[in-house]
């Protein structure tokens, strides 16, 4: 009897599978997340409030394949509004699910909202985090791993790595995230991080104490392991290394790289990469180390990698981090895209021969810093972004932008004359499918890391320059920035126009510039932001609106029925649907 039922069930299942194959729909993965506060003592014995997902810190890893349909039902059990953004996920045609305050109404406390998105043609290592206020400083982040679809060759799977580990590293503050927001609101700073966490564990900066802990990772001699490393912190660039072991770089921000070998790698805030590590050392314990770069009072954290059966303690000679800028810049210059690797291409509609495409527009985004009523603000080109009560994307879709924002208040170049920062919702437009060069200039004395939602771009150049900024200048504009080495069209000769890695985040060294190029072929409203979270919070961000003139479902999805409404769009009738894709 039971057997018959099972056979029948199997038959039904087979039919369902066949039906699914016939529709050729990509598989669905469902997640249910309960987001709560919890108390953890992570560093220096200080208990603090952290954001947990299903009780976990960091949050659960999302494992999926290219093109899977990801459905995440988020139950907000915090006492504050919440949004999740998916760092590096391009959400083609679908900025509705990008989870930024400019694209979506916040999920109110004690309500739920279901994100639905697809890592369309993407592979690699990414992470998610809460995007509102300073919540990112309280955790709520986790890894996203997108593997190639079956039968699509991967340049390093012969044989495949023994296992695949996530290493989320980041600086950490012991201050409550709401306290940090209040400090910034009051015009004060958040100070320096208390330490570094590795997968939610810091414990101690003392390597000897780390050695007393159970190992975080285990190796079997002779095997190869993949480590997916992301800097999920809010301010500090980190250096990642494993005592005695080489790191073979295979993937970065969703692109397969040329597989060069490094002793250690700098990972800037918001960046992710994958390395392969051969367990080729005498069996024993080894330190895996993440330590801050370019800030005073360096901090580090260690974890133990243990060879199976080992009882040999790690050598106390923890490898030192590299020193200086030049090392970091040179390492960055060595990263190259593997042009022959067959994989999902990050920019399927763009050309791989990006060096041969004519630039139709150059946007120079210079970081602005100034004071409004004595309080520090950041911005680009004299405009400091603030969120509106109606998410920008919704105001645009319902055609009610009046009183919410005005397009193109920020110019493509920094203003020639110094003036006070303007604090407004900052939205600029770009013509659909145009190829644009963006230069980020960071005249500050601290590191910056810039991220673009919705896209992958070619990181063609980065340069440490020597231009001087007087400490008395509160707002820096072109005129005050004369000096050797500032960006000029001449600098294009130094670009990598052949095999720059296609990625979503680029670092900008202090008093330096970085250049990217991309085709704006993903219609929607996309956030460009500093990953340095106090800068983000204080306005160093801008939204880019890209509208397809065809107003077609070929180019952009309609607002989903489940989209939350708030501000001016509550109760408005739906605008006409985009035309069917042909």
Ligand X SMILES: *[C@@H]1O[C@H](CO)[C@@H](O)[C@H](O)[C@H]1NC(C)=O
Pick from 317, 330, 399, 577: which binds ligand X (CB under 6 A)? 399
For ligand X, which is the closer residue by CB, 399 or 406? Answer: 399
DSSP assignment of 296-347: SS--EEEEEEEETT--PPPPS-PPPPP-SHHHHHHHHHH--B-TT--S--SS
Q: Using the rule CB under 6 A, is 60 a contact of ligand X?
A: yes
String of contacts with ligand X for each residue 280-319, x by CB under 6 A: ----------------------------------------
Is residue 63 close enough to count as binding ligand X by CB under 6 A?
A: yes
Q: How far is the CB of 401 from ligand X (least distance, A)?
A: 8
The 3-state DSSP class for residue 184 equals helix
Residues 521-560 vs ligand X: string with x where CB under 6 A?
Answer: ----------------------------------------
Stretch that binds ligand X, among 47-55, 194-202, 333-341, 486-494 (CB under 6 A): 333-341
Indicate the residue among 113 and 467 with the shorter CB distance to ligand X: 113
Give Cα separations from 55 to 115, 139, 140, 263, 405 (angstroms): 20, 12, 10, 35, 39
Is the Cβ of residue 211 or residue 216 nearer to ligand X in the bound state?
216
**Closest distance between ligand X and the C-beta of residue 374, in Å?**
38
* Member of 34, 49, 56, 155 binding ligand X (CB under 6 A): 155
- Which residue, 372 or 564, has its beta carbon nearer to ligand X? 564
What would the DSSP string read from start to end of 19-33?
HHHHHTPPPEEEEEE
Question: What residues have CB less than 8 Å from 38, skipping those under 6 apart?
Answer: 49, 50, 51, 52, 55, 57
From CA 378, how far away is CA 296, in angstroms rounded? Answer: 22
Q: What share of the chain is helix, strand, coil (3-state, %, to 5)?
A: 15, 35, 50
Structural Rg of the chain based on CA atoms: 24
Q: Shortest distance, CB of residue 306 to ligand X, whole angstroms?
A: 17
CA angle 15, 19, 20 (to 5 degrees): 120
Check residue 36 for interaction with ligand X (CB under 6 A).
no
* Residues near ligand X (CB under 6 A), total: 18
Rule CB under 6 A: say whether 562 interacts with ligand X: yes
Which of 26, 48, 61, 344 binds ligand X (CB under 6 A)? It is: 61
Q: Between residues 14 and 339, which has the closer beta carbon with respect to ligand X?
A: 339
Count helices and strands in the chain by DSSP H and E runs? 6, 33
Site map for ligand X, 211-250, x if CB under 6 A?
Answer: ----------------------------------------
Of residues 355 and 510, the one with the C-beta less far from ligand X: 355
Minimum gap (Å) between residue 27 Cβ and ligand X: 14
In the three-class reduction of DSSP (H, G, I as helix; E, B as strand; rest coil), residue 249 is classed as: strand
Shortest Cβ distance from residue 418 to ligand X (Å)? 35
Footprint on residues 247-286 left by ligand X (CB under 6 A): 258-259
Residue 137 dihedral angles phi and psi, to the nearest 5°: -75, -5
Sheet holding 300-307, edge to edge: 217-219, 300-307, 285-293, 237-242, 264-267
Site string for ligand X, 404-423 (x = CB under 6 A): --------------------
Buried b (16+ CB within 10 A) or exposed e, 422-432: bbbbbbbebeb
Q: How far is the CB of 7 from ligand X (least distance, A)?
A: 30
Nearer to ligand X, 210 or 249 (CB): 249
* Length reported for the chain: 582
Nearer to ligand X, 84 or 294 (CB): 84
Least spacing, CB of residue 156 vs ligand X, in Å: 8
Binds ligand X by CB under 6 A, chosen from 36, 69, 73, 480: 73
165/83 Cα distance (integer angstroms): 26
Residues 87-126 that bind ligand X (CB under 6 A): 112-114
Rounded Cα distance, 36 and 434, in Å: 43
Closer of 53 and 477 to ligand X (Cβ):
53
Q: Does 334 bind ligand X (CB under 6 A)?
A: no
Nearer to ligand X, 155 or 244 (CB): 155
For ligand X, the closer of residues 189 and 342 by Cβ is 342
Indicate whether 71 belongs to the interface with ligand X (CB under 6 A).
no
Among positions 37, 77, 108, 164, the unique one binding ligand X when judged by CB under 6 A: 164
Residue 371: its H or E element? strand 361-372
Q: Angle at Cα 294 formed by Cα 291 and Cα 296, nearest 5°?
A: 85
Residue whose entry in the numeric block shows the structure tokens 């760092």: 87
Cβ of residue 259: shortest distance to ligand X, in angstroms? Answer: 4
Q: Do the bridges between strand 195-198 and strand 247-252 make them parallel or antiparallel, or are there none, so unpaired? A: unpaired
How many Cα atoms sit within 13 Å of 369 on the Cβ side? 19
Residue 158 lies near ligand X (rule: CB under 6 A): no
Torsion of CA 278, 245, 238, 518, to 10 degrees: -40
Residues 381 and 424: beta-carbon distance below 8 Å? no
Q: Which residue's CB is nearer to ligand X, number 174 or number 434?
A: 434
Which is nearer to ligand X, 60 or 187 (by Cβ)?
A: 60
Closer to ligand X by CB, 244 or 355: give it: 355
Spell out the residues 6+ positions from residue 23 whose beta carbon is closer than 8 angstroms to its own: none
Q: Is 340 in the site for ligand X (CB under 6 A)?
A: yes
Q: Is position 434 an interface residue for ligand X (rule: CB under 6 A)?
A: no
Q: Which distant-in-sequence residues (6+ apart) come within 8 Å of 172 by Cβ?
A: 42, 43, 193, 194, 195, 196, 197, 202, 233
Q: Does 338 bind ligand X (CB under 6 A)?
A: yes
| Shortest Å, Cβ 386 to ligand X | 23
Q: Would you tell me which residues interact with ligand X (CB under 6 A)?
A: 60-61, 63, 73, 112-114, 153, 155, 164, 258-259, 338, 340-341, 358, 399, 562
């Amino acid at each position: 009897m039971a057997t018959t039922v099972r056979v029948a069930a199997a038959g039904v299942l087979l039919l369902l599978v066949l039906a699914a194959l016939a529709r050729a729909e990509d598989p669905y993965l469902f997640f249910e997340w309960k987001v709560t506060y919890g108390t953890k003592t992570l560093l220096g014995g200080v208990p603090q409030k952290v954001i947990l997902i299903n009780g976990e810190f960091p949050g659960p890893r999302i494992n999926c394949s290219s093109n899977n349909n990801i459905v995440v039902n988020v139950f907000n059990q915090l006492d504050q509004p919440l949004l999740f953004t998916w760092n590096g996920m391009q959400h083609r045609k679908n900025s509705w699910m990008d989870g930024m305050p400019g694209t979506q109404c916040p999920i109110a406390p004690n309500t739920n909202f279901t994100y639905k998105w697809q890592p369309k043609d993407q592979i690699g290592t990414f992470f998610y985090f809460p995007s509102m206020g300073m919540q990112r400083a309280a955790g709520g982040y986790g890894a996203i791993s997108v593997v190639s679809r079956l039968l699509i060759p991967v340049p390093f799977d012969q044989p495949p790595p023994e296992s695949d580990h996530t290493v989320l590293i980041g600086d950490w503050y012991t201050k409550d995230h709401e306290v940090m927001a209040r400090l910034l609101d009051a015009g004060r700073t958040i100070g320096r991080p208390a330490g570094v966490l590795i997968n939610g564990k810091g414990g101690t900066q003392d390597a000897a104490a780390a050695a007393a802990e159970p190992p975080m990772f285990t190796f079997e001699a002779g095997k190869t392991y993949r480590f997916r490393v992301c800097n999920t912190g809010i301010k500090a660039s980190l250096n990642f290394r494993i005592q005695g072991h080489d790191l073979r770089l295979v993937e970065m921000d969703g692109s397969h790289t040329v597989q060069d070998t490094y002793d250690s790698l700098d990972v800037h805030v918001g960046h992710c990469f994958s390395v392969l590590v051969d367990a080729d050392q005498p069996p024993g314990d080894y330190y895996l180390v993440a330590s801050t770069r370019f800030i005073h009072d360096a901090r580090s954290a260690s974890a133990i990698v243990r060879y199976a059966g080992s009882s040999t303690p790690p050598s106390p000679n923890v490898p030192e981090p590299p020193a200086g800028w030049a090392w970091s810049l040179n390492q960055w210059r060595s990263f190259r895209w593997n042009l022959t690797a067959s994989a999902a291409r990050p920019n399927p509609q763009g050309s791989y021969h990006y060096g041969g495409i004519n630039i139709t527009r150059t946007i120079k985004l210079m970081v602005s810093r100034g004071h409004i009523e004595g309080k520090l603000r950041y911005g680009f080109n004299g405009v400091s972004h603030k969120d509106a009560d109606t998410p920008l994307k919704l105001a645009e879709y319902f055609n009610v932008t009046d009183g919410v924002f005005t397009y193109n208040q920020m110019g493509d170049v920094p203003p020639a004359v110094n003036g006070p920062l303007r604090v407004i919702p900052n939205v600029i437009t770009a013509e659909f499918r145009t190829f644009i060069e963006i230069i980020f200039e960071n005249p500050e004395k601290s590191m910056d890391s810039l991220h673009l939602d919705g896209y992958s771009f070619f990181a063609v150049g980065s340069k440490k320059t020597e231009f001087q900024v007087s400490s008395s200048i509160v707002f820096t504009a072109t005129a005050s920035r004369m000096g050797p080495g500032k960006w000029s069209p001449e600098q294009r000769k130094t670009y990598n126009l052949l095999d720059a890695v296609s990625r979503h985040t680029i670092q900008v060294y202090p008093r330096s510039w970085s250049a990217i190029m991309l085709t704006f072929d993903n219609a929607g409203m996309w956030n460009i932001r500093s990953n340095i979270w106090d800068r983000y919070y204080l306005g160093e961000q801008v939204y880019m609106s890209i509208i397809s003139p065809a107003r077609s479902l070929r180019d952009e999805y309609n607002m989903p029925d489940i989209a939350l409404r708030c501000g001016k769009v509550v109760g408005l009738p739906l605008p006409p649907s985009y035309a069917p894709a042909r």
